Structure 1
Amino acid sequence: MDIFNARAGADQDTILELRVELVDSEPAIWRLFQLRSSLALNQVHQVLQAACGWEDAHLHRFTSGDPFAPLWPVNGQFPEVLQWIPAQECEEPGDRREEDCSLDQLLALGSAGAFYEYDFGDSWLHRIELVSRRPGDDASPPARLIDGARRGPLEDSGGFPGYEEIMDALADPAHPAHAEHASWVADITGSDAPFDPAFLDIPAVNRVLAEQFRRTQSGEKHGN
């Protein structure tokens, strides 16, 4: 079986406990999931979007290693950092379809976990680490968030420097940009309620995940 072009079989399905943390977040923004090992990477992408409260409005990729780490030659050649992207974005010979690779296969390629990058402008880079593995069972949902800390950063906030600047302004009513940033945050979130970057609504995330997979399974049953 070609590890780059096939998903894990259902008879191999296990439940993976994964810790996903936004690289360079301070305080740390992280999530702890239970995910089925056979999930394709496009499904994992949707899970991570829901867990961060994002809208899937930008490009993304999965990589087998840190895409920004310095590379050192091995036998005179620089090692390739493998990446998986949506099928419609595949243009280069080395591009791999995320729909054709399972979560388990991705993790098997990286000695220190794997990475997911969302929005190549803001560059929200996530480190994915395997915590534990157990046999699958019919009672376990395909994806469940079991723990975590802090909201995901706001879309289009300019990476961590921009996001931190916005949060500083929101926290200080006397800040000269307070009103401007408060208005922008209300527009992005669709709410005038105070924005709390430390708040994470785990039950709400799990409701979204359950609905996502319910729609997927319903579509498969109807041949969509």
Structure 2
Amino acid sequence: MNRFEAGVGQDSILEVRVKLVDSEPEIWRRFELRDSLALSQVHQVLQAAFGWEDAHLHRFITSHPFAPLRPVDGEIPEVPQWLPQQGCEEPGDKPEEDCSLDQLLALGHGAAFYEYDFGDSWLHRLELVSRRPADETSPPARLIDGARRGPLEDSGGFPGYEEIMDALDDPGHPDHLEYSAWVADLTGSVAPFDPAFLDIPAANRALAKLF
């Protein structure tokens, strides 16, 4: 069995690296995750670790959702996506509650995508790094490394987020005061906003509350 195949008859801990596609500098997280986590639970893990507010729609996909599709026998193939059960409306929609992390990564040959907020389209790429047997002390989810905090909710994708960061960095920017007040209201803090800061212990405390 290679590292991309689902484990059979054993519980495993998967080391999974998740990055925000097109982030520069790269925004990423490295997790240890139990292979049996349902995608609905993985959604909660990613929300907590990237600082999202779970205020928008999301989905899981095995391939890049915006890459051109090659026709098969003259037809564009239907790409399955995993959504909350109540959001499944199309023939290719599958309940995220019924699919495990291990199954998704096996279908994607070791990689998959998670899209959050179909307007801002925050696209996360999940990559299986390694697998090891689980033991009784292994938590279901643990953040072991990463870089930079997640972008601000409802900031307009990376172009909007970068515009906000530029305004915050420049007291002479015409929108500096407006964006400073907006960020303070959003974060609940008047402290200077540092996009490079990542509090791994705080993220792990949030993850521990999920299980």
In the alignment, what sits opposite 1:186? 184
In the alignment, what sits opposite 2:208? 210
User: What SS does the corresponding residue of 2:209 show, helix, strand or coil?
Assistant: helix
Question: Which of 87, 100, 103 is the matching residue for 2:101?
Answer: 103
C-alpha deviations, 1:13-37, integer Å up to 9, x for none? Answer: 2000000000000000000000000
Kindly state the Cα deviation for residue 212 of structure 1 after the two structures are TM-superposed: 1.3
Q: Larger deviation: 72-81 or 20-29?
A: 72-81
Structure 2 gap ranges (5+): 1-5
Looking at structure 1, the residues matched to 111 and 91 of structure 2 have their Cα atoms a distance apart, in angstroms, of 25
Kindly state the Cα deviation for residue 77 of structure 1 after the two structures are TM-superposed: 2.6
Judge conservation of contact 1:10–1:38 (CA < 8 Å) in 2: no
Kindly state the Cα deviation for residue 58 of structure 1 after the two structures are TM-superposed: 0.3
Looking at structure 1, the residues matched to 190 and 67 of structure 2 have their Cα atoms a distance apart, in angstroms, of 40
Judge conservation of contact 1:62–1:83 (CA < 8 Å) in 2: yes
Looking at structure 2, the residues matched to 154 and 12 of structure 1 have their Cα atoms a distance apart, in angstroms, of 39
C-alpha deviations, 1:181-215, integer Å up to 9, x for none? Answer: 000001111111111000000000000111111xx
User: What SS does the corresponding residue of 1:48 show, helix, strand or coil?
Assistant: helix
User: What SS does the corresponding residue of 1:203 show, helix, strand or coil?
Assistant: helix
Aligned sequence identity (%) = 78
Whether 2:166 is the aligned partner of 1:173: answer no
RMSD: 1.4
TM-score by length of 2: 0.94
In the alignment, what sits opposite 1:59? 57
Looking at structure 2, the residues matched to 53 and 147 of structure 1 have their Cα atoms a distance apart, in angstroms, of 15
In the alignment, what sits opposite 1:113? 111
In the alignment, what sits opposite 2:83? 85
Structure 1 gap ranges (5+): 1-7, 214-224
Counterpart code for 2:127:
E
Kindly state the Cα deviation for residue 10 of structure 1 after the two structures are TM-superposed: 9.4
Kindly state the Cα deviation for residue 11 of structure 1 after the two structures are TM-superposed: 4.2
The structure carrying a bigger helix percent of its residues is 1
TM-score by length of 1: 0.89
Q: Larger deviation: 161-170 or 81-90?
A: 81-90
